[in-house]
A and B are shown apart, each in its own frame.
Chain A
């Protein structure tokens, strides 16, 4: 379990991260969303023990990031947004280097290297020089490096940046697989649709403050107090709109055309069903009655102002 407890980072009078708090369970894939300069990378670097928090801390399975950095390092895999691989070594040598650093027993190293290469689909490149790999493959190699010691927490900072759509899709599958393996995965990105696909938890950070945290559904619900229901009728959208205006739980209605109107609604699903029934009973020929769901992008735009520090 990862507990982030009031993590704060200050540079002079600038607050990069302002006492954020959240907790993640094994198997959670946490999408960390924020504009450039919002504090994502600073937070991840503090969790990776690269930066010292000004105050607050984080605990991974009881080990403290500030007090026990060496224990944390044994349990995390970190992939930065920009990283350099050693061009002059072969893929297996690169992984052998990190296996040694992580004290993987000598006898187990060949099988560990083979396993992570298989998981990241790089087996055929085992004897290739790192410099010959494509950007997507280098990204996967860095991820493979993060896995040689079977970490409990993976910190992936903008892992999909610079990848083509296919490489991005493959990376998403890989991250989802890691989540299924019971690892806690923190993925930062500002490409929102790709996070919604495989993250079960998201957090939105803005100017160092964690503005929202929870499951994708909960976060969307938090910012969208009223449901928006789009109603299609064969004719009489204006009348339908007028009919529902002022009814219980209806806060507002909008005309979208001669056959379509929108209803802002605050009731439960039962109330929603009652409203549909009343429309039909009133003689409106309803062809479509659909709740508009906000996506992460809507949530992000609503929650944040886009200001960077």
Chain B
């Protein structure tokens, strides 16, 4: 009971009486500037409505159906405009707020006061989100016009507005860790925009592709699935759209909100981890969240895929590859977000804080501490979780994991270990801290990943050699091959693991020489 009371007190302090949020609120709404900005915004909205309405009226007498269609598109265009406004404002507001505090050096004063990273970050989220909500609420009179004129129902407006508000929260959450790890305001804003708009574009395209693929494979066609609501592509959604979870029918907007809140929590924990030292509870929490979210997302994706697609449940060593290839694509796509996690798992530095200093290359005890030697174990744990959950769901639906799929997963693991080894190696060449090592890792991975491609394409175009034989030397060739042939996959696995092992040995040799170099220098100083 006492523990609960303390928990409640802390939550009240973080969410209700947050000093950071109160301070930002005072500054945000002070003076003439906010009134001017909001007036311009409202003026633009009203102008848009007047123009749209005049356009409809100017067409003279029309059938009810045509007018109804025009009003619908009028309503849609308001929603799109709002979504764009939110996507423009939300990413920048937190990034600027946090980074300007760091640049102004007022953050040091907060960092020495007894507040947790969560307190500070939630304060920033609240103050930023309040701005986004004001933006949304101010447009309500305009949307009400669409309802009165017959373009939409109040229920549709409520759901759409709610989802736009949730997207705003999502954009703020995405920009949060970026703002924390950036070192200047402008890069923080640019990276935040890149991440949020990148997410919006790729997630929308991904959801659309997934939906069309699902329909093609025999899935439901009457309404969009809940994950489409996570993207700006499906702002206008039917109020009664739902997803069946066993016998339970859950409205899509509730499922989408739950997923967004999980992502927000993950981002807040991630940003908090970036602000803390080695072994902090924020870092442990981030790592546990990572494993749980991997399991949940794999589970949901597998459930929706394997239950819908009949071909998956009859998977075997078919001559065409078929099911095995689908399963391999499934795991490959699911593992792609690792590209964002790997720079943090694979890089190290001896000129930074303890959390960046490796005490070795592989230590399972450091799985949750954030130490560099826990990076590889954590990467393997993520991949093992993905494989275990994905395979479990597949087996549950009566499918089977064949040899090609298993060997392919070994290749996929080798692929990520190879990328990890690149990070471990470039860190040994970096003398200016973990931040530089991370950037170098990203650049090196892109170079190694993309550069051989045009070169090898030229070779295949200019010679009689088989495309497959030439590309076999490419470490990421598994993404391009038809995986039906077990011998080819085994060969690829062998090649990649040899390359990964060689890189790892070289990287570790370099790390040890760097350590001894520093030790000698320090001993000489003593």
Interface residues of A (CB under 8 A from B): 10-15, 18, 48-50, 52, 54, 70, 73-74, 76, 78, 80, 82-86, 88-89, 93, 97-98, 100-103, 142, 145
Chain B residue nearest to A78 in the complex (CB) = B112
Instruction: Report the separation of the CA atoms of residues A88 and B518 in the bound assembly, to the nearest whole angstrom.
Output: 46
Are A50 and B111 neighbours in the complex by a CB distance under 8 Å? Answer: yes
Instruction: Report the separation of the CA atoms of residues A101 and B112 in the bound assembly, to the nearest whole angstrom.
Output: 10
Are B114 and A74 neighbours in the complex by a CB distance under 8 Å? Answer: yes
Q: A12-B351, A52-B354, A89-B23 are in contact. Are A98 and B112 (CB under 8 A)?
A: no
Instruction: Report the separation of the CA atoms of residues A10 and B113 in the bound assembly, to the nearest whole angstrom.
Output: 25
Instruction: Report the separation of the CA atoms of residues A89 and B353 in the bound assembly, to the nearest whole angstrom.
Output: 34
- B277 is an interface residue with CB less than 8 A from chain A: yes
Are B110 and A84 neighbours in the complex by a CB distance under 8 Å? Answer: no
Instruction: Report the separation of the CA atoms of residues A70 and B280 in the bound assembly, to the nearest whole angstrom.
Output: 12
Instruction: Report the separation of the CA atoms of residues A12 and B357 in the bound assembly, to the nearest whole angstrom.
Output: 10
Are A98 and B113 neighbours in the complex by a CB distance under 8 Å? Answer: yes
Instruction: Report the separation of the CA atoms of residues A52 and B355 in the bound assembly, to the nearest whole angstrom.
Output: 10
- B2 is an interface residue with CB less than 8 A from chain A: no
Minimum C-beta distance from B293 to chain A (A): 28
Are B106 and A85 neighbours in the complex by a CB distance under 8 Å? Answer: yes
Contact of B517 among A13, A82, A142 (CB under 8 A): A13
Instruction: Report the separation of the CA atoms of residues A305 and B105 in the bound assembly, to the nearest whole angstrom.
Output: 32
Are A48 and B112 neighbours in the complex by a CB distance under 8 Å? Answer: yes
- Residue pairs across A and B with CB atoms within 8 Å: the count is 82
Provide the residues of chain A in CB contact with B110, threshold 8 Å. Answer: 101
- B108 is an interface residue with CB less than 8 A from chain A: yes
19 more A-B contacts (CB under 8 A) besides A85-B106, A88-B30? A12-B350, A12-B431, A13-B517, A15-B522, A15-B525, A50-B108, A74-B114, A80-B105, A80-B108, A82-B105, A86-B27, A88-B26, A88-B27, A93-B23, A93-B26, A100-B17, A101-B19, A101-B115, A102-B114
Are A12 and B19 neighbours in the complex by a CB distance under 8 Å? Answer: no
28 contacts between A and B (CB under 8 A): A10-B522, A11-B352, A12-B350, A12-B431, A13-B521, A15-B525, A50-B111, A50-B112, A52-B278, A74-B114, A78-B108, A78-B109, A83-B105, A83-B106, A83-B108, A84-B106, A85-B106, A88-B26, A89-B23, A89-B26, A101-B19, A101-B110, A101-B115, A102-B113, A102-B114, A103-B13, A103-B114, A142-B109
Minimum C-beta distance from A97 to chain B (A): 5
Chain A residue nearest to B103 in the complex (CB) = A84
- B104 is an interface residue with CB less than 8 A from chain A: yes
Are B109 and A89 neighbours in the complex by a CB distance under 8 Å? Answer: no
Provide the residues of chain A in CB contact with B203, threshold 8 Å. Answer: none
Residue from A13, A18, A83, A102 with most neighbouring chain B CB atoms (10 Å): A13
Provide the residues of chain B in CB contact with A84, threshold 8 Å. Answer: 101, 103-106
Chain B residue nearest to A84 in the complex (CB) = B104
Chain A residue nearest to B114 in the complex (CB) = A73
Interface string of B83-126 (1 = CB under 8 A from A): 00000000000000000010111101111111100000000000
Provide the residues of chain A in CB contact with B277, threshold 8 Å. Answer: 52
Instruction: Report the separation of the CA atoms of residues A142 and B101 in the bound assembly, to the nearest whole angstrom.
Output: 16
Interface residues of B (CB under 8 A from A): 13, 17, 19, 22-23, 26-27, 30, 101, 103-106, 108-115, 277-278, 350-354, 431, 517-518, 521-522, 525
Instruction: Report the separation of the CA atoms of residues A98 and B110 in the bound assembly, to the nearest whole angstrom.
Output: 8
Instruction: Report the separation of the CA atoms of residues A83 and B104 in the bound assembly, to the nearest whole angstrom.
Output: 7
Provide the residues of chain B in CB contact with A86, threshold 8 Å. Answer: 23, 27, 106
Instruction: Report the separation of the CA atoms of residues A70 and B108 in the bound assembly, to the nearest whole angstrom.
Output: 15
Q: A13-B522, A89-B23, A89-B27 are in contact. Are A101 and B105 (CB under 8 A)?
A: no
Are A73 and B113 neighbours in the complex by a CB distance under 8 Å? Answer: yes
Describe B's contact surface by its main secondary structure: helix
Minimum C-beta distance from A101 to chain B (A): 4
Provide the residues of chain A in CB contact with B113, threshold 8 Å. Answer: 73, 98, 101-102
Q: A74-B114, A78-B109 are in contact. Are A97 and B22 (CB under 8 A)?
A: yes
Q: A50-B112, A70-B114 are in contact. Are A97 and B350 (CB under 8 A)?
A: no
Provide the residues of chain A in CB contact with B354, threshold 8 Å. Answer: 52, 54
Minimum C-beta distance from A18 to chain B (A): 8
Instruction: Report the separation of the CA atoms of residues A84 and B110 in the bound assembly, to the nearest whole angstrom.
Output: 11
Are A11 and B108 neighbours in the complex by a CB distance under 8 Å? Answer: no
Instruction: Report the separation of the CA atoms of residues A98 and B20 in the bound assembly, to the nearest whole angstrom.
Output: 9
Minimum C-beta distance from A59 to chain B (A): 17
Instruction: Report the separation of the CA atoms of residues A50 and B114 in the bound assembly, to the nearest whole angstrom.
Output: 12
Instruction: Report the separation of the CA atoms of residues A251 and B103 in the bound assembly, to the nearest whole angstrom.
Output: 57
Provide the residues of chain A in CB contact with B108, threshold 8 Å. Answer: 50, 78, 80, 83
Minimum C-beta distance from B410 to chain A (A): 38
Chain A residue nearest to B27 in the complex (CB) = A88
Instruction: Report the separation of the CA atoms of residues A93 and B27 in the bound assembly, to the nearest whole angstrom.
Output: 10
Provide the residues of chain B in CB contact with A13, threshold 8 Å. Answer: 517-518, 521-522, 525
Minimum C-beta distance from A115 to chain B (A): 19
Provide the residues of chain A in CB contact with B13, threshold 8 Å. Answer: 103
A-B pairs, top 10 by smallest CB distance, nearest first, are A84-B104, A13-B521, A100-B19, A12-B351, A84-B106, A88-B27, A73-B114, A101-B113, A78-B112, A84-B105
Provide the residues of chain B in CB contact with A103, threshold 8 Å. Answer: 13, 114
Minimum C-beta distance from B514 to chain A (A): 9
Chain A residue nearest to B102 in the complex (CB) = A84
Minimum C-beta distance from A132 to chain B (A): 14
Minimum C-beta distance from A104 to chain B (A): 11
Contact of A52 among B105, B106, B111, B353 (CB under 8 A): B353
Minimum C-beta distance from B109 to chain A (A): 6
Minimum C-beta distance from A168 to chain B (A): 22
Q: A84-B105, A84-B106, A86-B106 are in contact. Are A97 and B111 (CB under 8 A)?
A: no
Provide the residues of chain B in CB contact with A18, threshold 8 Å. Answer: 525
Residue from B26, B109, B353, B517 with most neighbouring chain A CB atoms (10 Å): B109
Minimum C-beta distance from A165 to chain B (A): 26
Minimum C-beta distance from B515 to chain A (A): 11
Instruction: Report the separation of the CA atoms of residues A12 and B348 in the bound assembly, to the nearest whole angstrom.
Output: 12
Minimum C-beta distance from B50 to chain A (A): 36
Provide the residues of chain A in CB contact with B278, threshold 8 Å. Answer: 52
Instruction: Report the separation of the CA atoms of residues A278 and B108 in the bound assembly, to the nearest whole angstrom.
Output: 63
Instruction: Report the separation of the CA atoms of residues A103 and B23 in the bound assembly, to the nearest whole angstrom.
Output: 15
Provide the residues of chain A in CB contact with B111, threshold 8 Å. Answer: 49-50
